[in-house]
Amino acid sequence: MPQLSKKGIELPTSPIRKLVVFSDKAKEKGIEVLHLNIGQPDIEAPKEAIDAVKNSDLKLLPYGPSQGELSYRKKLSKYYSQHHIDVSPDDILITTGASEALTFALNSICDAGDEIIIPEPFYANYNGFASAASVKVVPVISEFKSRFQLPALENINDKITSRTKAILLCNPSNPTGYVYNKTEIDTLCELAAQHDIFLIVDEVYREFIHGDVEHYSILRNPMGTQHTVMIDSVSKRYSLCGARVGSIVSKNKELIQNILKFAHLRLSPPTFALMASEAALDAPKTYLENVIAEYGKRRDVLIQALEEIPGVEVSHPMGAFYCIAKLPVENAEDFSKFLLTSFHHNEKTVMLAPATGFYSTPGVGINEVRIAFVLDSEKLHLAATILRLGLEAYKKIHAVSLV
């Protein structure tokens, strides 16, 4: 029997999609599954983006530049300037989703056996990207009780070794919804410059801010221009997840040129997807304003409904469209399977994302789930009802206290 690679065998399974087999079986039985496990927006993409593809008169789909079309990079540069981010088109490299952007960044910065520090919980696929690049993730735990704010600086500093190449975080955070403030970002910039390592910040949820918090981009810090890398994507902002268009932005010219070598290997980003992404930037300002307002409404609906369930604790998200909830169960993954295999309410059930997959430290987050509020308010109310009734049914079977 031919041997598979150790890297492939040890690649972690996505906790977001881990329970799909149980979800599919539930659907085969006629059960409607409300998906709170994945950040797939249900809000329509801008008409400008869809029409750009529909109205295209292309007779073939040629290769484009590996760095991405200049016209798109110019528009992105203008878009970033509206967020007080001063970058030129040459500072931007277009990728096939933020996933490829992170993969390119890690492979350009790290060699096999190098380390990256990540505050946890973190987006589960960071584990996979690191594993695929033969890079070790060094976690620093942030606390539920403090809404997952940045861990103490000494805790991060103590993790830095000669193998450390970067600190990685998501702002606003997926999965916690925490928004790192200017002081936290500036502190990390100083730390990166002091140790001559990179600071990589995934900013795909930049617009999705709830309340009076301000998003502060890593590229607004003037001190760390050679040490900072921003990851971005149109997936969430414009409901274009399937377009798979992202970007890497950095003023470090040597880094961008190094990443371009990896971009050459995959030739070019997808033509129609770029067309839709570029057109999305022409959407009226009201498009994003309405989207942000809708997610804010959904956040409030979900948080209130969850807090009414006995034993459930919720960390209030400041941004993005996720929250971490502690459930009154010993094992949230087992409960999540129960909802899909053994419970339904009026032929409906809920799919959650067990939070252990968003941690790198073993045994942490075992009674937590990540919930994506990407459904409309009525469905979120229903999902909370199903969750409450499911917990009651689970209690009867497993004698779990809801106190």
The mean of the pLDDT values for the chain is 94
The confidence score (pLDDT) of residue 16 equals: 67
User: What is the spatial distance between Cα 214 and Cα 206, in angstroms, rounded to a whole number?
Assistant: 10
Residues of the chain with CATH 3.90.1150.10: 6-44+286-398
Residues 92, 95, 100, 102, Cα dihedral to 10°: 10
Q: Quickly count: other Cβ atoms within 10 Å of residue 81's Cβ.
A: 11
Of the pLDDT bands very low, low, confident and very high (cuts 50, 70, 90), residue 300 is: very high
The confidence score (pLDDT) of residue 26 equals: 95
> What is the amino acid identity at position 15?
P
Query: What global pTM score does this model have?
Result: 0.94
Of the pLDDT bands very low, low, confident and very high (cuts 50, 70, 90), residue 17 is: confident
Of the pLDDT bands very low, low, confident and very high (cuts 50, 70, 90), residue 398 is: confident
Residues of the chain with CATH 3.40.640.10: 47-280
User: What is the spatial distance between Cα 227 and Cα 253, in angstroms, rounded to a whole number?
Assistant: 11
The residues facing 249 across adjacent strands are 92, 230
Residue-wise pLDDT tens digits, 337-388: 999 999 999 999 999 999 999 999 999 999 999 999 999 999 999 999 999 9
User: What is the spatial distance between Cα 307 and Cα 314, in angstroms, rounded to a whole number?
Assistant: 7
Write down the CATH number for the domain with range 47-280: 3.40.640.10
> What is the amino acid identity at position 258?
N
Judged against a pLDDT cut of 90, whether residue 224 lies above it is answered with: no
What is the CATH superfamily name and number for domain 6-44+286-398?
Aspartate Aminotransferase, domain 1 (3.90.1150.10)
